[in-house]
Chains A and B, each alone.
Chain A
Amino acid sequence: MELHSQTIHALRDLLDRGEISSVELTEALLARIEAVEDRVGAYITVDRDAALTQAEEADARLRRGEGGALCGIPLSIKDVLCTKGLRTTAGSRILESFIPPYDATVVEKLKASGAVILGKTSMDEFAMGSANENCAYGVPRNPWNLEHVCGGSSGGSAASVASGECIASLGSDTGGSIRQPASHCGVVGIKPTYGRVSRYGLLAYASSLDQIGPLARDVRDAAIMLDAISGYDPRDSTSVNRPAPDYTAALVPEVEGFTVGIPREYFGQGLDPEVEQAVRRAITMLAEAGAKMVEVSLPRTEYGVAAYYLIATAEASSNLARYDGVRFGYRDHSQHELIEMYRHSRSLGFGEEVKRRIIIGTYALSSGYYDAYYKKASKVRAMITADYAEAFSRCDLLLSPVAPTPAWKIGEKNDDPLSAYLSDILTICTNLAGLPGLSLPCGLSSGGLPIGVQLQGNHFAEEKILQAAYALEQGLGPVGSKTAL
């Protein structure tokens, strides 16, 4: 197998035994990027020189017998995470020339482990989107079928893993932005429990929902990545001070004793029959492996999208107020009056979807509408969370599809934002309740596009999720590896 399509754990052995060097590996990845990137468009920025320097340092550490689990492994990072000295745009024109003076905590942790950072991946502007079509730097293409979207908002991260342009990646998930592109691109994605991973250095979209997590080739790689980034960080006041377990230790392919809930509302109208069939196959597989399957209900699921689009946009309208053309980011220098400078800088710097969401959020928080919109949505959020608590009193995990359909064609939903919002219905409630969720490839559509199965767990139940996902992965076997590249 070519180096660029290997897993972290396979490469770990090769690197540790000295059969390959990190420089050779990094060069192989850079060559792959050179070969396919013009067709995929997974990256906004590739930092060739820094990657090779980091690889040399990793090789030196390996020779000294040092380095962590990711030492020498080339990764990509969603362009929403601050990387010291490396341009970070959030997919927006407003940050076209922003060079962070510090690393996000997760980036700091990856570097401490010896990882090599190849570059920054494409994303929907400020993580607002479900197809990665709202990016100021172009639309990445699905490596399985270049006419289709990658999903979003971590579309570039998912595409870079699927296309062999990195070994694994970090994304962020506010309403499904790791799990849905992972599903559409046939890779594993984890959205950890809110507070499990520090958000310090993540350019905020909706702070009460955002969480950083890995996208990887298999469950073991995802667990290795999660091990590297988890843990308490005093610089993020919402980070939870609770020891992080060893996630790779949870990878036992056994599910006996597990009760898995099948939420009936996730199999309703609008679910593509091929998606349903692939997910049903996963259900059968887990049942045969000894898990007890029970039907459960999350009755308020259908209100998730409406609650989300009020809460997330309200938080975004506040978070994005910092882009005012003063301390960083784009300024319209033709304006000589302060308020007009703010307004023109923001109007020229932000894309259409971002402006739309800031306006919805400002409206939802504005005098006279606050109770009807934001407060009402926050109450529905509490009810959705209560539904989960009820379900988890009866089961350990919830199994469902990740997205109602495989990836759609580029451009198909461009003029109808609401229809794209509705495609997030199966992932959004996880964030409202702050729960962990995982997306695992479980089949291919007749059109050759990947389908994912989702496992959701209670707060801090990542180990159970990983264990069941690992068992499922072993049982299902490879779902296909023939991308369009």
Chain B
Amino acid sequence: MKITPEEILKIARLARISLSEAEVEKIAPQLDGILSYVEKLGELDTGGVAPMTHALKVCNAFREDEVKPSLPRDEGLANAPAHNGEAFVVPRII
């Protein structure tokens, strides 16, 4: 096994996803199959190869820090599951 049900639960917690026992049971062999498949990359000698993170050789895109019009507050709040007209409302944290 590349990945155990316990590891899946740990990773799911990190990813802020809750999985039922049945879900873990179902995806465990699937994840195992996928992780076994990607082992294939080990066949390639990548020594001396620089990792590629961007498709084109582009530099940072900088711009002047100017104040420009932005989304009005009511429009920014309009899609929130809970708000008080001024801010997003979340369960009590402290």
Contact = CB atoms under 8 A, between A and B. Distances in A.
Interface of A: 97-99, 101-102, 193-195, 208-209, 234, 237-238, 240, 300, 302-303, 305-307, 309-310, 317, 321, 324-331, 333, 335-344, 346-347, 350, 352, 355-356, 358-360, 362-363, 366, 373, 375-383, 385, 417-418, 421, 431-434, 459
A359 B11 contact: yes
Can you list the 10 inter-chain pairs with the closest CB atoms, starting with the nearest?
A434-B55, A378-B51, A331-B81, A328-B79, A382-B52, A379-B46, A194-B55, A237-B61, A343-B18, A362-B15
A433 B55 CA distance: 6
B50 to A, nearest CB: 6
A375 B51 contact: yes
Contact of B27 (A359, A373, A377, A459): A359
B57 to A, nearest CB: 10
B52 A385 contact: yes
A379 B53 contact: no
Given A359-B27, A382-B52, A347 B41 contact: no
5 contacts: A238-B54, A327-B79, A333-B81, A355-B27, A356-B31
B75 A101 contact: yes
B46 A380 contact: yes
Q: Name the prevailing secondary structure of the A interface residues.
A: helix
A471 B42 CA distance: 42
A347 B17 contact: yes
A85 B37 CA distance: 43
B34 to A, nearest CB: 6
Given A238-B61, A331-B82, 16 more contacts: A99-B79, A101-B75, A193-B56, A234-B63, A310-B41, A317-B15, A324-B16, A327-B80, A329-B79, A346-B16, A356-B27, A358-B15, A379-B49, A382-B51, A383-B49, A431-B55
Contacts of B58: 195, 238, 240
Interface in B1-44: 3, 7-8, 11-19, 23, 27, 30-31, 33-35, 37-38, 40-44
Contacts of B12: 359
Contacts of A326: 80-81, 88, 90
A338 B61 CA distance: 35
A101 B80 CA distance: 12
A363 B41 contact: no
B71 interface: yes
Given A101-B75, A303-B44, A194 B56 contact: yes
B52 A381 contact: yes
Among B8, B12, B78, which residue has the most Cβ atoms of chain A within 10 A? B12
Given A303-B40, A327-B79, A383-B46, A366 B11 contact: yes
Contact of A434 (B44, B50, B56): B56
Contacts of B3: 363
B80 A355 contact: no
Contacts of A310: 38, 41
A355 B71 contact: no
B67 interface: no
Contacts of A234: 61, 63
A208 B53 contact: yes
Among B33, B46, B50, B81, which residue has the most Cβ atoms of chain A within 10 A? B81
Contacts of A303: 40-41, 43-44
A400 to B, nearest CB: 20
Contacts of A331: 81-82
A362 B27 CA distance: 15
Contact of B91 (A240, A321, A337, A417): A337
